[in-house]
Structure 1
Amino acid sequence: MTTQDMLDDRYGRRRSPGRTWAIIGGAVVGVALLGFVAWGVVADSVEAVDADTTGFAVVDQHSVTVNFQFTAPTGRSVACAIEAQDVEHGVVGWKVVEFAASEDHARAFRETIPTTAEATTGFVNACWVT
């Protein structure tokens, strides 16, 4: 036995072949898990819809008009939930509107929401790909 072998034994520098394979297997599983998570993030962002309220107008005591725009994947239909609230932030009107698929990436709309009481604001709550 050489001096180097004795030092390796003394300080535990030798690795058994089983331990080496365990480390390699753990690294492969870690890389596969990282790839799976990265794919999930990319897949979610491809189907994302971004919506912005561009304005609203209280028409009367029973309706409010909301102007909004959204960006969505081309060729996919989109649905949006539009909401009207009163001065105490209580929901007084709610409407889900569906839009047909389009080749335009960004689109703008105006929708009127019927309300149960006078609204003080109107906005897009959420939009999603259908």
Structure 2
Amino acid sequence: MTTQAQLDDRYGRTRDPRRRRIAWVAVIAAAALLVGWFGWNTVATEMDAVGVDGHGFTVVDERSVEVSFQFTAPAGRSVACAVQALSEDFGVVGWKIVQYEAADSRHQRHVETVPTVAEATTGLVESCWVT
């Protein structure tokens, strides 16, 4: 009669402690690589982050709006901003992409005039990004 231990040995179902150790090392290495990748991705994204604060707007006439804002960006990097004007029902009536050269200061304040196709009731910065 054949025992369970003999069948396990015959068909390769015995537990090898080295195999188990290698599997744990592989799992730990994969987890470390995944954590490292997420960490680097977070750092790389934050290095190029641009924060924008709108300070206000002035409706100059029915064909233009002045938008006042400041942004915080990495020093020494050029930045582009999308400035827009909206109508009473929040439709976009003016849009302008403005590019700023690299500066030594992280904080920059600007006032931009946005031409419009109809009378605007507000002006704001849609977003800014590092170029």
* Interval containing the TM-score (normalised by the shorter chain): 0.7 to 0.9
- SS for the counterpart of 2:89 is coil
TM-score by length of 2: 0.87
**Take 1:66 and 1:15, find their aligned partners in 2: how far apart are those partners?**
71
- SS for the counterpart of 2:46 is helix
RMSD: 1.0
Superposed CA offset, 1:36-76 (max 9, x none): 11110011001111111111011110000000000000111
Partner of 2:116: 115
Structure 2, unmatched stretches of 5+, are: 1-14
**Take 1:25 and 1:69, find their aligned partners in 2: how far apart are those partners?**
49
**Take 1:129 and 1:117, find their aligned partners in 2: how far apart are those partners?**
30
What does 1:47-58 align with in structure 2 at a 5 Å threshold? 47-58=48-59
TM-score by length of 1: 0.87
Superposed CA offset, 1:10-49 (max 9, x none): xxxx762102210111111101110111110011001111
Amino acid at match of 2:57: F
Amino acid at match of 1:93: G
Moved over 2 A (4+): none
**Take 1:117 and 1:101, find their aligned partners in 2: how far apart are those partners?**
33
Residue-pair matches, total: 117
Partner of 2:33: 32
Q: Quote the sequence identity (%).
A: 48
- SS for the counterpart of 2:38 is helix
